[in-house]
Amino acid sequence: MSQYRLEVRVKPRPGLLDPQGKAVHHSLNSLGWDGVSDVRVGKAIYIDMDAESADAALEAVGVMCRKLLANPVTEDFEVSLVGEAKDAGS
């Protein structure tokens, strides 16, 4: 079994209201960054886990996202491997 580090990026779905992004956008404009046309605020989640393969790790984290980490009604997510897989025994 190997250990994998995965990164999950959760972001608001396009077209849906993002109050936090709107507040950041307004603040940036107020501070003089008039060239900023839109801001969307999401979250990044890093997971270290043991799995039989990279594909198994990606699949497991996808299930985690659908069940807990992302709201399927309002958010989209992307899962990717980060860094090198390490042998769980080392």
How far the first Cα of the chain sits from its last, in Å, is 11
Q: What is the pTM for the complete model shown?
A: 0.82
> Would you state the pLDDT for residue 73?
94
pLDDT one-digit tens code per residue, 62-83: 999 999 999 999 999 999 999 6
pLDDT one-digit tens code per residue, 20-40: 999 999 999 999 999 999 999
Count of beta carbons in the 10 Å neighbourhood of residue 71: 13
CATH 3.40.50.1000 at 2-85, yes or no? no
Task: Please report, as a single letter, which amino acid is at residue 39.
Answer: V
> Where do the domains of the chain lie?
2-85
Report which DSSP code applies to 8.
E
Q: Which residue has the tokens 């025994």?
A: 89
Report which DSSP code applies to 47.
E
